[in-house]
Amino acid sequence: MAVENNVTVNSSRGVDGNSYTTSVANDELTNQDFLRLMLEQLKMQDPTKPMDSDQMLTTQMQMSSINTNLETIETMKFLANSFKQSNLSNAATIIGKNIEDGNIGENGVSKAYTVRSVEVVDGDVMVKAQQILYIEDQVRDKDGNYVFYDVKGQILDEDGKPTGKKVALEDPGKVIVDKDGNPVILDKNNEIIEDSEYTVDGSTMPVYSNQLSVIPYAQVTKIF
């Protein structure tokens, strides 16, 4: 047995004293390897029983076809890899942007998300994003600081606890204003607090889900 260039060749010695190849094992045999083996076989063939030339040609064509198919497979793998990398690069440009995926929420409005990251999962480019639940009107106190309030309008302190005051809301995040354009503020008994000195300046802020949604990049229908 001999090993050369990862090709294992088994041989035996015939009654005439010559060495003959009995088998060749290697997954990386090329068409050139086959031609060399065929020439060696032609040299050692029995003149009274020549090899079938048609069979030899068919075998060579099969070998060429196998090599061509293997090269095609490798090329396709390279192209698929390049395509995935290109998609990943394109998807990375939408990090921090808002997207839609064509789905409709319970409120009848298209679901919107803010993209936090992108990655390849099982060969597919996936977007990880937080769903925007609603857009919240910004309220300021008498010192000009933004006021934090929950979905029910309860104004929260620095520790996130209810202060007992509420912002009157028409819908989640949609502040009700009085005739002067100031937000309607309620006390713990839901009575209007007159001259509360709270204001709205027209600015808004998205309120997000606390969970990440995983969306195939191919399903993104809108970027804004």
Q: What are 163-214's pLDDT values in tens digits?
A: 999 999 999 999 999 999 999 999 999 999 998 899 998 999 999 999 999 9
Q: Which of 199, 143, 135, 193 is nearest to 165 (CA)?
A: 193
Q: What are 61-110's pLDDT values in tens digits?
A: 666 676 666 667 776 766 566 566 667 788 889 999 999 999 998 878 89
What are the angstrom distances between the C-alpha of 8 and each of 11, 22, 29, 30, 64? Answer: 10, 11, 10, 14, 21
> Can you tell me the distance from the alpha carbon of 220 to that of 224, in angstroms, rounded to the nearest whole number?
11
User: What pTM, to 2 d.p., does this model score?
Assistant: 0.59
Spacing of C-alpha 74 from chain mean position = 23
> Can you tell me the distance from the alpha carbon of 211 to that of 196, in angstroms, rounded to the nearest whole number?
35
How many CB atoms are closer than 10 A to CB 59?
13
